[in-house]
Structure 1
Amino acid sequence: MSPSQSESDLSAFEGNGNSKRGSIRESGSSRKKFACVECRQQKSKCDAHERAPEPCTKCAKKDVPCILKRDFRRTYKRARNEAIEKRFKELTRTLTNLSSEDILKKIEQEQKDLLSGQNFTKEKLKIKKLSTTQSNVSSSVPSWDIEEITNGDADATEDNKVENEQCSISDQQLVCSPKSLGEVYMSSDDIAELFQEFATKYHPFLPVVDISRGAESIYSLSPCLFWVILLIGLRRKSGAIDLMTKLSSLVKSILAEITISPIIRYTPSENDEPVLNVASVYSVQAFLLYTFWPPLTSSLSADTSWNTIGTAMFQAIRVGLNCAEFSKEYESANSELISEQVRTWVCCNVVSQIIASSFGFPAYVSFDHAVIIATAENQDKNERHRVPLPIKQMAQIAHFENQVISTMNSNPSNELGMVGGEQKQPLLHVLNQQLSQLEMNLEENNLDSMRKFLLLVAKVHLLTYYFTDTFPKHKKESTDVRLMSLSEIASNFETKRGLVRVFNAAIDLLGHSTKMWQTDPAIIKYFPGVFVLNIWQSACIISKLVHSSLSAVLDIDRGKKAYQDAVSLTFNASVLKHDMAYRSSAIMKSIWSMFANMHGDWKRDKVCQVDKFANDFNLGISIKSRMSVSVFFDCLYILREKCGMAKIRREAQQLEDEEDYDEEDENNSEEQRAAQRRTLSRIRHPEESARKIIKTTPLDPNPINAANTSSGSSLASPNSQPADVLSLNGILNKSSPRNIPMALEEPNALTNNPSLQEEDQQSLVPSLFGLPERSIDPSPGHNPQLALPEHWDNWESDSVWRDVDILMNEFAFNPTV
């Protein structure tokens, strides 16, 4: 450093400059002494003002230039290095088609932008954080917490960085050439819009896809994954119902071909020719997304989640994801691909356990060494195959759910595998302690609202096992606690204490869901299907206990509010009228009304107040074959049973009315009497009645007739022509109408379909307890006439019986077990 430079720089610091760390004010002087650039960057003490014009001690020791600069701002090297690394990966994918001169120019410009310290100062990073947060308020995308960097928390910084990378996407990554699949054509603008919709609204729930690759790159690696992403992005697009229906059929055909006739690629790359039926790590990701957001159906029996997650697990093993880290087959694979495979294998186990626990089935899981090590809390930050923080937390929760199932259903001498009564309560205490420790660990590591939802679901699933300790009490016969032994009384007390805890846990889950909705009114529209099912199941627990012999010790008002919120949440989660979310909201109203009537009858049957305290009611369950969600199916079974009995009574009364009417009108003609019978009786033509029941589920798959081979007819649905049957060859050979853009904003698209308008569905909140309708997020387009039909308040109505009968009969379980 020259003397003239030092003197000029030192003189420039005279005046009203701000005092910085490392500066020294001389006693009795107004001159400020500043540290050099290097010392200020390292936050170390500087003696440049003492040694001038010689370099300071630290710069002289490091043999670096000692520069004094007034407007210097410290750069955050971690953020700069991360940006350089990320940009380098992008450049390697985009520079392949450029000439050498263009590459050199582009690298030179990138170098100037990335290495400029002014782009990574504290102030600019805070501005970036603020703008990112504001732009993502409506999309609930986790933001990059810059304060973690400022405080020097390396672990939290790494986790937040990964989460941010999983959710952020640039305009360059949205660039994609037009694509077509069969008769579906997507322009570049359509693809960018849907890809952005997926990245900001759906991806945070399950960040398994590396969206930083960009749309074009994902298509090159797996057309199947590409089209699944676009299909999910269409779920909430205004006016895209018809397009979503067409694309859904095409995607089903691709997934079927991958399942039955796959082309295996262990190490796929962008240089490979895009093939629809290729099975690889990316097709497994497609199945995972398809499982979380399955096709819209009207009944639980038609939900494909259980089938597709099983296919995903088997396919993952087939392509070797369970041994990606140590198998010799992957010696030539790059680190990035192995990280993709490890992350996907972990997500396979996570989604499989979530689906299994929510549907009451055994899980396709393999919490092997690779999964446990990848999700370990003390995972080395420098390890080459890292798992993002959200997936790591989801894996820990899923592993706990698996431990609950394997612990509480591990008795080979029991027909249902359930542990004995003497072991059940001690095991529940141990598992609850483990859950508390898990909750503490997760809360210390920036647990977001989506992962918090899964943690609360796991707590509800654990505590519902207290229901299996008691006998079913929805009949009038009750067990008198005054006749129990001391040990039985103690066990009964522990059971009831556990039921109070599950009541509060269910309220906590619904309260957290409502808070998520109030914070971001749009988030409920993008909930995975299994999340909506979890809300419904928790609401059933609340309804059952509010109308039980424990009601005197429960916070009834809090339970009512949570239940009303659950009705509103499921209703607003509906995509189309008559889908499962829409129907669940209606059935919930019937369940509450039914249990209220049953509870009222029980209270009237008791002679005195002592009898009410001495006898239990509605605390047990008959169905115990569905593990942690047996309570949910038991509530549906009771509703179906009660509705069936009411139906029989109505039919008997109708027959009596017909006989009386015939006696009074003997003079009427035979034709008139026949017409009157058809008007009064609802079971005159049972076959036609059955067809009407099928028509109440318009979103479920149509039956496919087994055509007579001698007639030469092809495989076809009763409601479709043979030409509509899809095959992979047909998809590949069909011409694409490239001149027809995707009509996302068709004005009358929603008017001509049975779905609710988006703005109406967001604002509607069905009333459960006879209160006026209210709205968490009022909308100018609110239409009060779109509320649920009033007949759902009458749980004895034919509509309720038909709906629940279909739902129960078609769900492939024996309700008598």
Structure 2
Amino acid sequence: PGASDPELEKENSSISKRTLIRKACNECRQQKLRCNTVKDPFTPCSRCTRLKIECRLDASFKRIFCPTNSSSRERRQQERRHSAANDTPPAPNDQSINCCGTAGIPQQGSAQSTNGIQGYVLTPSEGQYAGIGLSPNEFSWTETNQTENPGITSSHRPPTARHDEHSTAPTGSSPRQLDDIDISGYVARCLFEQYFQHYHPFLPFLDPHKSPDDYYQFSPLLFWVIVGVASRRYSADLTLLPALSISVSRLLWSTLQSSHHNYRTCKALCILCVWPFPKSDSSNDPTFMLTGAMMQLAMQAGLHMPDYSQDFSKVELTLRSEELRDRHMTWAVCNIVAQSVATGLGLPSTTRYECLMEPKLMTASYRALDEPLASRLRIELFCDRVTEALYKNPSHEKATGNTNERSGRFNLLSQELIQLESDLNPEMDSTEMLLYFRCAQIHLRLYALLDLSAQAPLLLLYQVCYQFLTEICSSDPNTVNIIRHCPYYIFQMVLASGLTLLRLLRSSLASYIDAEAGKSMFNSTILACRQISISNNDLPGRLAEVLAHLWAWGVRGTQDSSLSSHKSSSRIEYQDTPLVVRGRMSMSIIYDSLWMWRRGFKNDPARHLTRKDALVVQSRSFDLISCSSYCSN
């Protein structure tokens, strides 16, 4: 009453301003945009209403990503629109990419792959053919023409994809971020669908009915490893794989450094060891080391004794039957993966089968396994027995020279292999199981190259390798799809089989072999390696070129034999001499061939010597440990 009208109006105005102070919603705070939301009564802001996204006001909200420019903001808005409401994606674009992004997948690593990756070119290192031992730390990706692929962006987000009404992709997935990589919930579901469709049959130990969010809750590393494996053939975004190969590796090492481990981390390591990220130099490949870490973490979590899991935990555990079964299965899969990695690299395995071989635990473990995994475990147990009986301690075998004892063990294992094939016959309808059994056959038969005392085992080895490559190189669409998604272990056996064919075709046994069919199969082996390749600079692609060089080298040697008897004797004597590299078990054929290729390709003067003289040079200068890498200099 004592105040004048202007003063009263000024006071009312200040009160009105204080009551109209608004707080921006989460989405507007994330983008640092002006927000017109009203807290009481709550009214969504116009921006969230326009974009059809949830408008929320959370006191604990913190910005997790800062867009660098307006285009990135627009892309984030577009992805939120796609994943909002009913999560229905827009109409397909002109490229007609299906839900999993598998249409139009380029044949990377092949001779035709130069223009297979539209818009991006993988820049190889200089001197690619001067030796495999190049050591680029990362892949060099160069953007050439983004207008051809308008959906591919530098933020690793795929273009809009066509939604399949009958899609079996798991539901319940949220947008996820790893470093500067953002994937929407829709893309995560597509990648998970692609994983369970193409990769899961090779190692069926995950539950395809669980959503990506479930796996993220289990273990963020497991989630991103699945995404990384599925991105190997994800044509909708060709930048995703090279980006994930860096970020997931960083997440892996940070997880291993943590003092708190979840046993599901072992599942992530299993998948990563079966499908490692592409490398151009195997000296940078940590797969074998990761198998050791995987086994150690599994035992630290008590997976080797699932019934006594409480003894390995600081907190009280109440395990249901499903969780106990999952622990049994995870331990079996860890041993399966560790054995296959060791076999493929020609190194001693880190497996612990004694826990699986005890009657009580063995019964519980096999009951916990589905039929494919139980059969696969039997195959890997056989491979372990082959390694222990034939390949362990080659220097001792050479010193004792007990040929009859070795032949007896070989014959017993051959009979066991026949019985195993009979027992697994119902499972042989699966192409994946058939390929794993063929790998076990090759692992056994390759012992013939270490003991050339008889021709019959060598001819049988040729037949087994030829049969395996015939099944791998089949033109059946299902087989073609399998070879493009097969584990690295399958590639290693393909490489060993191809080099075995080459060696026997250049030996004195050539008169007993169909040379034309063998040459055609060797050519198919090169094409298969290129199909397995997922980048122009990875090991399968580069080793395919090595196979071609070795064949051409042998052809030149054969053509020169009519002009120089010295060269002829050197060439044939080399092929009829046992392997020089003998310490890499069944994979010794790979390391022996690559050592000879490196020496011959780098203009080593010793390549002009006879085999006897070359062995003298080798004994003085060759370090067997240096052959632990396919591509070391």
TM-score by length of 2: 0.65
Within the alignment, does 1:228 sit opposite 2:225 as a pair?
yes
SS in 2 for 1:501: helix
Instruction: Give the AA of the match of 1:506.
Output: C
Tell me by how many angstroms 1:422 deviates: 3.1
Compared CA separation, residues 447 and 808, structure 1 to 2 (3 A): farther
Aligned CA distance change for structure 1 residues 618 and 594 (closer, same or farther; 3 Å) = farther
1:256 alignment partner, one of 247, 253, 256: 253
Query: In the alignment, which of 373, 381, 398 is matched to residue 399 of structure 1?
Result: 381
Q: 1:460, CA displacement in angstroms?
A: 1.1
Deviation at 1:418, TM superposition (A): 8.9
Match of 1:441 in 2: 423
Q: What is the Cα deviation at residue 415 of structure 1?
A: 8.1
User: Which whole-Å deviations, capped at 9, do the CAs of 1:736-769 have from their partners, x for residues lacking one?
Assistant: xxxxxxxxxxxxxxxxxxxxxxxxxxxxxxxxxx
Shift in Å at residue 259 of structure 1? Answer: 1.8
Deviation at 1:315, TM superposition (A): 1.0
Partner of 1:545: 504
CA contact (8 A) 2:505 2:515 kept: yes
Paired with 1:237 and 1:404, the residues of 2 have a C-alpha distance of: 38
Corresponding residue number in structure 2 for 1:243: 240
* Of 524, 530, 541, the match for 1:582: 541
The question of whether the paired residues in 2 share the 8 Å contact of 1:503 and 1:542 is answered with yes
CA displacement at 1:644 relative to structure 2: 3.0
Deviations 1:36-83 (A, max 9, x none): xxxxxxxxxxxxxxxxxxxxxxxxxxxxxxxxxxxxxxxxxxxxxxxx
- Match among 342, 345, 348 for residue 362 of structure 1: 348
Instruction: State the number of aligned residues.
Output: 451
Post-superposition Cα deviations, 1:232-290, rounded to whole Å, max 9, x if no partner, equal 11111125333332332221122112222231xxxxxxxxxxxxxxx222110001111
DSSP-derived class of the 1:348 partner? helix
CA distance in 1, matches of 2:588, 2:394: 19
SS at match of 1:180: strand
- For the 8 Å contact 1:516–1:523, the answer to whether it is kept is no
Q: Quick one: which of 436, 440, 446 aligns to 1:454?
A: 436
Cα offset for 1:326? 4.1
User: Which one-letter code corresponds to 1:583 in the other structure?
Assistant: R
SS at match of 2:216: helix
Pick from 206, 211, 216 the counterpart of residue 209 of structure 1: 206
Q: 1:547 to 1:410 in 2, by over 3 A?
A: closer
Contact 2:439 2:490 in 1 (8 A): no
Matches within 5 A, 1:259-274: 259-263=256-260
What are structure 2's unaligned runs of at least 5 residues? 1-98, 104-165, 609-621
Paired with 1:368 and 1:336, the residues of 2 have a C-alpha distance of: 24
In the alignment, structure 1 residue 200 sits paired with structure 2 residue 197: yes
**Matches for 1:674-685 after TM superposition, within 5 Å:** none
What's the secondary structure of 1:414's corresponding residue?
helix
For residues 577 and 605 of structure 2, the distance between their equivalents in structure 1, rounded to whole angstroms, comes to 26
* Residue of structure 1 aligned with 2:274, choices 274, 289, 292: 292
Q: Which amino acid is the alignment partner of residue 454 of structure 1?
A: Y
2:462 match: 503
Per the alignment, residue 185 of structure 2 pairs with: 188
Deviations 1:586-634 (A, max 9, x none): 1110111223334555677669x9x99x989435211101011111111
Is the contact made by 2:326 and 2:368 (CA closer than 8 Å) also made in structure 1? no
In structure 2, the CA distance between the partners of 1:635 and 1:446, relative to structure 1 (3 Å rule), is: closer
Inter-partner Cα distance in structure 2 for 1:389 and 1:242: 37
Distance in structure 2 (CA, Å) of the matches to 1:588 and 1:596: 12
Aligned to 1:340: 326
Distance 1:562 1:411 in 2: 33
Report the CA distance between 1:373 and its aligned residue: 5.8
Q: 2: distance between equivalents of 1:327 and 1:346? A: 16
Give yes or no for contact 1:182–1:250 (8 Å, CA) kept in 2.
yes
Report the Cα offset of residue 645 of structure 1. Answer: 3.4
Which runs of structure 2 are paired with 1:296-695 in the superposition (5 Å)?
296-329=278-311, 332-370=318-356, 385-410=367-392, 414=396, 420-470=402-452, 492=453, 495-515=454-474, 518-599=477-558, 617-645=575-603
- Per the alignment, residue 103 of structure 1 pairs with none
Shift of 1:296: 0.9
- Are the aligned partners of 2:281 and 2:630 in contact in 1 as well (CA < 8 Å)? no
User: CA, structure 1 residues 446+464, in 2 after alignment: closer, same or farther (shift >3 Å)?
Assistant: closer
TM-score normalised by L of structure 1: 0.51
The letter of the residue matching 1:538 is S
SS of equivalent residue, structure 1 residue 645: coil
Distance 1:592 1:222, change over 3 A: same
Are 1:338 and 1:385, in contact at CA under 8 Å, matched by a contact in 2?
Answer: no
Residues 284, 312 of structure 1: 8 Å contact kept: yes
Paired residues of 1:346 and 1:371 also in contact (CA < 8 A): no
What amino acid is aligned across from residue 365 of structure 1 in structure 2?
T
Q: 2:358 & 2:438 partners in 1: Cα distance? A: 22
Structure 1 contact 410–417 (Cα < 8 Å) conserved: no
Query: Which structure has the larger Rg over C-alpha atoms?
Result: 1
Structure 1 segment 88-103 matched on structure 2, within 5 A: none
Inter-partner Cα distance in structure 2 for 1:238 and 1:188: 18
- Residues 634-689 of structure 1, C-alpha deviations (whole Å, 9 max, x = no match): 11111122223368999xxxxxxxxxxxxxxxxxxxxxxxxxxxxxxxxxxxxxxx
SS in structure 2 of the partner of residue 212 of structure 1: coil
Q: Cα 1:412–1:638, aligned 2, differ >3 Å: closer, same or farther?
A: closer
Would the alpha carbon gap of residues 281 and 589 (structure 1) be closer, same or farther in structure 2, given more than 3 Å must change?
A: same
Unaligned runs of 5+ in 1: 1-134, 140-168, 264-278, 471-491, 651-804
8 A contact 1:360–1:627 mirrored in 2: yes
Q: Aligned partner of 1:339: which letter?
A: R
Secondary structure at the counterpart of residue 254 of structure 2: helix
Residues 199 and 520 (structure 1 numbering): CA distance in 2 closer, same or farther, change over 3 Å? same
Structure 2 letter corresponding to 1:580 = L
Question: How many angstroms does 1:814 deviate by?
Answer: 13
Amino acid at match of 2:582: K
| Cα distance change of structure 1 residues 261 and 505 upon mapping to structure 2, 3 Å threshold | same
Task: Kindly provide the CA deviation profile for residues 186-235 of structure 1, in whole angstroms up to 9, marking residues without a partner as x.
Answer: 21111111111111011111112223222111111111101111111111
Q: CA deviation at 1:519?
A: 3.4
CA drift of 1:425 comes to 1.5
Contact 1:408–1:419 (8 Å) recurs in 2: no
C-alpha separation in 1, matches of 2:415 and 2:329: 29
SS state at 2:170 partner: helix
The residue type paired with residue 220 of structure 1 is: Q
Q: CA deviation at 1:349?
A: 0.7
Q: Is the 8 A contact 1:342 1:370 kept in 2?
A: no
CA 251–597 in structure 1, closer or farther in 2 if over 3 Å, else same? same
Identity of aligned residues (%): 22
Amino acid at match of 1:222: S
Aligned partner letter, 1:345: W
Structure-2 residue corresponding to 1:765: none
| 2:266 pairs with 1:281 | no
Residue matched to 2:146? none
Cα offset, 1:327, TM superposition:
4.5
Matched-pair contact (CA < 8 Å) for 1:517–1:524: no
Give 1:182 deviation, angstroms: 2.3
**One-letter amino acid of the counterpart of residue 323, structure 1:** M
- Equivalent residue letter for 2:283: S
User: Cα 1:648–1:463, aligned 2, differ >3 Å: closer, same or farther?
Assistant: closer
- Code of the aligned partner of 1:635: S
Q: Counterparts of 1:354 and 1:341 in 2: how far apart (Å)?
A: 20
Measured after TM superposition, the shift of residue 172 of structure 1 is 7.4
- Tell me, what secondary structure is at the counterpart of 2:396? coil
Aligned match of 2:18? none
- Taking only aligned residues, the RMSD between alpha carbons, in angstroms, comes to 3.5
Check whether the contact 1:178–1:186 (CA below 8 A) recurs between aligned residues. Answer: yes
Aligned to 1:144: none
Q: For 1:412 and 1:456, how far apart are their aligned partners in 2? A: 24
